[in-house]
C-alpha cells in the first residue's frame, strides 16, 4: 500500500478529492484535461511527485529489507558452539565504550597476561606483527566485525553491557570532559596544532585516535570553543542554573546532543551495532549499507537484534556494569581461572595466525603504538605497571589484586574529571545532577535506543543464568571438598570402630567354640 501524506490546503489529498468530486477518474487523459484548469495544475504536479516518491520509497525499503535479511541470515545460520564456555587460544575483549572495560583491562587482564602475550594494536585498528605470533589477548573498541580478521575458531569473545540510558549520559559527559581539557589553549587553531605535534612525538595512543572518541571529542571541542568565544564577546554575567545538562552558555545541552546526527550515527543503539558488527568503524564492507538501512527504517532493527543476541549467546562471558561485584567475581571465575590454568600449562604458541592467512588487515602497517595504557587523554598511564600471571596465582589472589587496582584507578579518574570540568564551571556532572534532567529528554533517549534496551534486558537474563550456574558449581565443589576433608578426619575413628567390631565378633566366635556342650 502507498501512503500519501497531507501537504497543505492544496495538497495531494485535497487535489484528489477535487478531481473525484468533478466526476473524472484519475487517468492520463483526464489529467491532460484537468491540466487546463489552472486551479488544479499545481495539485496534479504534487500528486504525480508524491506517487513517484512513494514508489521510490517502497522500492528503497524493499532493497534495504533484502540487504538486511540476507546479512542476518548468513550469520544466524552458523551453528552455536558447543564449548562456548571454554577459553580458546585468543581472548578478544569487545570493549563497548563507557561500560567499565578499561577497568577490566588494567585490573584483570594486565594482571593475568604478561605484555609479551598482548596483541600489537593501536586500539582502533588492529595490526598483527609477524614478530609476535603468540598474542593471546586483544582489547579494543572495534566492533565484532574485527573477528573476520582473527582466527575465528580459536577466538573467545567477552564483553560488558550497560544500561543504555546511563551509557548515553556517560558518553555525553566523557566527550565534554575530554574536550574541556583543550580549553587551556587560547583558540581552536592553536589546540589542533599542538595536539597534532604531541601525537607525532609520542608512541602512545591518544583518545583522539580511538573510535568513537575520534569523532565525538573534536565535535564537542569545537562546540566548547564556540560557546566560550560567544561568552567572551558578550561580556555579560553567566546565567545560573541547577541543571548541568542544560547550561547552553558553557556546553552543548543534553537534549541537543541526543538529537544531533553525529549522536544518531555513533551513540544511539551503539552497543547493539557494536556487537552486531555494524558501526561506522566496521571492517566488513556490506556492514555500512546494512547500518544505514537500519537507521533509515527502524523496523529492520529486529534483524540486527537477532544477530546481536546470538553473538551474546556464543560469548565466553557477558558482564553488566550495574552488577559490578557479581560481574567481577564471575569474570575472575569464568575467564581468570581458565587463563591461569592455560598459562600454567606447557607453553604453546597460538597456531598459525600467519598460516591461516590472518597475518594482517586490509591496510597492513607496522605497529607504531604501544599499549592503550599510554593514552594521552585516558588517564590510564597512572595505573600500576604490567603484571604477569604468577604460577601460584589463584582466583582469590586475582580478586584481591583487582580490588586494590580499581580503588587506585577510580581515584585517578575522579581527579582528572574534576580538573577538566573546572574549565567549564558551573557544569558539574554527577548522579544527583542527572535527576534534574526532564522526563521528556529521558523518554527521547529511550526511543532512540530501543535496540540497546532490548539487548540489555537479554544480557541481564544471560548474566543471571550464568551467575546461578557458577554459584551452583561453586557450592557443589565446596561441598565435595568439605565432604572429602570430613571423611579424612573421620578415617581414624572409622578404622578404630571397624577394628573393635572385628575384635568383638572374634571374641564371640571363640566363646561359642569353647562353650561346653551339655
Alpha carbons 486 and 21: distance in angstroms, whole number: 96
Separation in Å, CA 197 to CA 121, 141, 202, 443: 21, 24, 9, 43
Neighbouring CB atoms inside 10 A of 328's CB total: 22
Please choose, from the candidates 432, 434, 429, the residue with its C-alpha nearest in 3D space to the C-alpha of residue 416.
Answer: 429
The DSSP result for 162-190, as a single string, is --HHHHHHHHHHHHHHHHHGGGGSSSHHH
Describe the strand order of the beta sheet including 137-140 as a list of residue ranges. Answer: 137-140, 90-94, 155-161, 317-320
CA angle 106, 114, 379 (to 5 degrees): 25
Asked if residues 161 and 271 have their Cβ atoms less than 8 Å apart, the reply is: yes
For 477, residues 6+ apart whose C-beta sits below 8 A from its C-beta are none
Give which of 287, 289, 266 is closest to 98, Cα–Cα.
266
> Is residue 221 flagged as an active site residue?
no
Supply the angle between the helices 450-514 and 324-331 in degrees, to the nearest 10.
60
Cell 594482571, residue located = 111
The residues with which 318 forms a beta bridge, in sequence order, are 159
How far, in whole angstroms, is CA 165 from its chain's centroid?
14
Q: Of the listed 152, 231, 423, 460, which one is catalytic?
A: 152
Cell for 255? 537534549
d(CA 278, CA 285): 10
- Partnered with residue 319 across adjacent β-strands are 160
Give catalytic status of residue 173 as yes or no: yes
The residues near 81 (Cβ < 8 Å, ≥ 6 apart) are 314
Contact 353, 359 (CB under 8 A): yes
118, 167, 173, 417: the catalytic one is 173
> CA-to-CA distance for 115 and 372, rounded, in angstroms?
12
Residue pair 244/436 in contact (Cβ under 8 Å)? The answer is: yes
Residues belonging to the active site: 152, 173
Amino acid at each position: 500500500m502507498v501512503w500519501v501524506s497531507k501537504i497543505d490546503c492544496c495538497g495531494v489529498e485535497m487535489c484528489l478529492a477535487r478531481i473525484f468530486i468533478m466526476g473524472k477518474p484519475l487517468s492520463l487523459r483526464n489529467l491532460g484535461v484537468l491540466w487546463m484548469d489552472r486551479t488544479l495544475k499545481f495539485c496534479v504536479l504534487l500528486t504525480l511527485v508524491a506517487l513517484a516518491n512513494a514508489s521510490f520509497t517502497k522500492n528503497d525499503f524493499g532493497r534495504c529489507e533484502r540487504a538486511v535479511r540476507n546479512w542476518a541470515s548468513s550469520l544466524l545460520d552458523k551453528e552455536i558452539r558447543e564449548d562456548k564456555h571454554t577459553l580458546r587460544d585468543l581472548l578478544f575483549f569487545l570493549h563497548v565504550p563507557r561500560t567499565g572495560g578499561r577497568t577490566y583491562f588494567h585490573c584483570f587482564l594486565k594482571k593475568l597476561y604478561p605484555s609479551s602475550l598482548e596483541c600489537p594494536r593501536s586500539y582502533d585498528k588492529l595490526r598483527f606483527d609477524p614478530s609476535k605470533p603468540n598474542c593471546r589477548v586483544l582489547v579494543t573498541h572495534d566492533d565484532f566485525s574485527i573477528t573476520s580478521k582473527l582466527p575465528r575458531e580459536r577466538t573467545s569473545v567477552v564483553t560488558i553491557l550497560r544500561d543504555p540510558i546511563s551509557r548515553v549520559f556517560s558518553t555525553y559527559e566523557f566527550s565534554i570532559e575530554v574536550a574541556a581539557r583543550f580549553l587551556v589553549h587560547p583558540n581552536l587553531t592553536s589546540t589542533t596544532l599542538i595536539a597534532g605535534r604531541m601525537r607525532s612525538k609520542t608512541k602512545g595512543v591518544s583518545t583522539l585516535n580511538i573510535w568513537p572518541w575520534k569523532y565525538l571529542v573534536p565535535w564537542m571541542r569545537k562546540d566548547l570553543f564556540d560557546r566560550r568565544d560567544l561568552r567572551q564577546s558578550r561580556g555579560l554575567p553567566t546565567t545560573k542554573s541547577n541543571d548541568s545538562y542544560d547550561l547552553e552558555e558553557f556546553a552543548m545541552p543534553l537534549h541537543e546532543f541526543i538529537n544531533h546526527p553525529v549522536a544518531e550515527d555513533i551513540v544511539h543503539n551503539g552497543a547493539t551495532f557494536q556487537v552486531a558488527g555494524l558501526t561506522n568503524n566496521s571492517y566488513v564492507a556490506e556492514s555500512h549499507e546494512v547500518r544505514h538501512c537500519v537507521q533509515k527504517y527502524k523496523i529492520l532493527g529486529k534483524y540486527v537484534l537477532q544477530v546481536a543476541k546470538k553473538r551474546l549467546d556464543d560469548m565466553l562471558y557477558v558482564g553488566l556494569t550495574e552488577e559490578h561485584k557479581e560481574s567481577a567475581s564471575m569474570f575472575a571465575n569464568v575467564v581468570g581461572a581458565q587463563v591461569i590454568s592455560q598459562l600454567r600449562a606447557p607453553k604453546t604458541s597460538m597456531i598459525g595466525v600467519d598460516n591461516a592467512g590472518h597475518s594482517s588487515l586490509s591496510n597492513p602497517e607496522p605497529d607504531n603504538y604501544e599499549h592503550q595504557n599510554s593514552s594521552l587523554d585516558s588517564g590510564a598511564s597512572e595505573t600500576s605497571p604490567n603484571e604477569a600471571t604468577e604460577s601460584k596465582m589463584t582466583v582469590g589472589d586475582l580478586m584481591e589484586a583487582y580490588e586494590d587496582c580499581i580503588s587506585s584507578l577510580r581515584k585517578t579518574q575522579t581527579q582528572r574529571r574534576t580538573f577538566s570540568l573546572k574549565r567549564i564551571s558551573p557544569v558539574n556532572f554527577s548522579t544527583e545532577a542527572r535527576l534534574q534532567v526532564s522526563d521528556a529528554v529521558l523518554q527521547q533517549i529511550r526511543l532512540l535506543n530501543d535496540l540497546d534496551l532490548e539487548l540489555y534486558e537479554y544480557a541481564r537474563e544471560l548474566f543471571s543464568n550464568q551467575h546461578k550456574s557458577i554459584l551452583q558449581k561453586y557450592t557443589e565443589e565446596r561441598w565435595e571438598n568439605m565432604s572429602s576433608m570430613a571423611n579424612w578426619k573421620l578415617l581414624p575413628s572409622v578404622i578404630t570402630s571397624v577394628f573393635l567390631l572385628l575384635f568383638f565378633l572374634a571374641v564371640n566366635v571363640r566363646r561359642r567354640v569353647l562353650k561346653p556342650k551339655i
